[in-house]
Amino acid sequence: MPNQKHLDILKQGVEVWNAWRQNHPDESVDLSKAQFLFAKLPGIDLSKANLSKVHFDFTNLSGANLSGANLNGAGLSNAGLYHTNLVGANLEGADLEGAELSGANLSGTDLSRANLRHVSLSQVNLNGAKLWEVNLSEANLSGRDLQGIDLRGSDLTRADFHGANLRGANLHGTDLRSAKLSKNLSHMEREELNELEPSDWDEINLDAADLSGADLSNAFLNEVNISGINFSGANLSGADLSGANLNASDFSGANLRGANLNNAILVETILEKADLTGCSVYGISVWNAQLNNAIQSSLIVTRPNEPTITVDNLAVAQFIYLLLNNENIRSVIDTITYKTVLILGSFSKDRMPVLEAIRKELREYNYLPVLFDFEKPSSRSLTETVRTLAHLSRFIIADLTDPSSIPHELQAIIPTLAIPVQPVLLEGKEEYAMFVDFLKTYDWVLPVYYYIDQANLLTTLKEFVIEPAERKAQQLAQR
């Protein structure tokens, strides 16, 4: 209960109260549970006072000194707190819904579990403030410097963070449904924010922020740089991430169902066990994303105004759209499918000139020759590499003259891929023993062409190597 003496002094007005406080600096003030509804107390000195569960609803406290005051559970809804000093105050569980805090100093203030719904925090100093489990739904935090702020578990639904600095902020478990974190502003919004600090309001800063477990469903994050951010386990269903930079961000286990990822950049982004069902991915850029056990169902690769085309693999979504809509890409695919020739053989000092000569001659016939050095691939298995190259080829030319690596290469290709293989061999040499089995078993392995020397091979290449391989490729295509 409030101290009656203190109440009686206060009823005499702010001027009398402040004079009394000045003359009694060491006396502890207790106004707990007092009622001051619609009161006018501008400039009042209530520093370090016990104001627990006091009611200042609709009260004018502009310019007041409430530093170090205990306002635990206080009612401050719709209160006027313009330029009020609340440094180090305890506002835990206080109700500040609709309060006007413009220019207030809340540095070091404990606002945990406070209700700040519909609050404007423009030009408010929140350095070091504790904001755990705060209700900031629909709050205006545009252009604010919130670096390192701790908002874990808070309700930030529909809050406006346009241009806010959230570098290093802890947003773990926050509810950011329909919040505005994008940098795209209307002309009117830009004019309003020009009056605010910091001057770089037009670019939200989320560097090193922790958004793990946050509810960002339907949030606006378009064109925001959120690279390297922890979104693990977050709910981003229906969120607008169009044009956002998601490089190296962690979305493991996140819910991205129906999110807008159009034109987003995902380089080395972690999406393990993420749910990407129904995401729009037109114009997306994906490089080396981690997609282990991710759900990649019904990804929309077309614009909203185009007939819907869906795929079930994020890594190939961008490729599919380019294939359908870019004539140059289709030309590249055609070139790979119909013009690539894989050349296999020994890269030894004696044999390499022959392989190079074959490659040069193939170019004369408008082919795209590919030489495979068996010693070089180290990032993946040799079998996988040679099979990938074979898949892309129209046919294969295999020089059996020095079969040091040829047996392994052909064993990886011939039994499972119906691709024409044209073997060539220098006269006087013999095929390695196992090659005969290929000739007997697989009809896409053509008879060995024996050449006298390099010059002879090049002059006869078209008639005895290229043309037989092309005929076989056409036969296989008709099956």
| DSSP 8-state class, residue 463 | I
Encoded tokens for 371: 């030489």
Asked if residue 360 is part of any domain, the answer here is yes
Asked if residue 447 is part of any domain, the answer here is yes
d(CA 367, CA 441): 28
Asked if residue 249 is part of any domain, the answer here is no
Given a contact cutoff of 8 angstroms between Cβ atoms, the answer to whether 360 and 343 are in contact is no
Asked if residue 219 is part of any domain, the answer here is no
Asked if residue 401 is part of any domain, the answer here is yes
Q: Is 390 left (phi over 0), alpha (psi -120 to 50) or beta?
A: alpha
Asked if residue 400 is part of any domain, the answer here is yes
Among residues 363, 360, 364, 341, the alpha carbon closest in space to that of 352 is found at: 360
Helix (H, G, I), strand (E, B) or coil at 304: coil
Given a contact cutoff of 8 angstroms between Cβ atoms, the answer to whether 37 and 58 are in contact is yes
Asked if residue 318 is part of any domain, the answer here is no
- What domain count does the chain have? 1
CATH number at residue 337: 3.40.50.450
What is the pLDDT tens value at each position of the chain, 479 positions in all? 889 999 999 999 999 999 999 999 999 999 999 999 999 999 999 999 999 999 999 999 999 999 999 999 999 999 999 999 999 999 999 999 999 998 999 999 999 999 998 887 778 888 888 999 999 888 888 777 788 888 889 998 888 887 788 878 888 888 888 888 765 433 333 344 334 333 333 456 777 778 889 888 888 888 888 889 999 999 999 999 999 999 999 999 999 999 999 999 999 999 999 999 999 999 898 989 999 999 998 899 888 887 778 888 887 777 777 666 666 665 666 666 678 899 998 878 888 899 999 989 999 998 889 886 555 444 445 677 788 788 888 999 999 998 777 888 888 899 989 999 999 999 999 888 888 889 999 999 999 999 999 999 999 999 999 999 999 999 998 87
Asked if residue 416 is part of any domain, the answer here is yes
Encoded tokens for 420: 């024409």
Q: Which domain holds residue 337?
A: 330-478
Given a contact cutoff of 8 angstroms between Cβ atoms, the answer to whether 351 and 401 are in contact is yes
Among residues 68, 98, 101, 66, the alpha carbon closest in space to that of 83 is found at: 101
CA within 13 Å, CB half, 118 = 9
CA–chain centroid gap for 460, Å, is 55
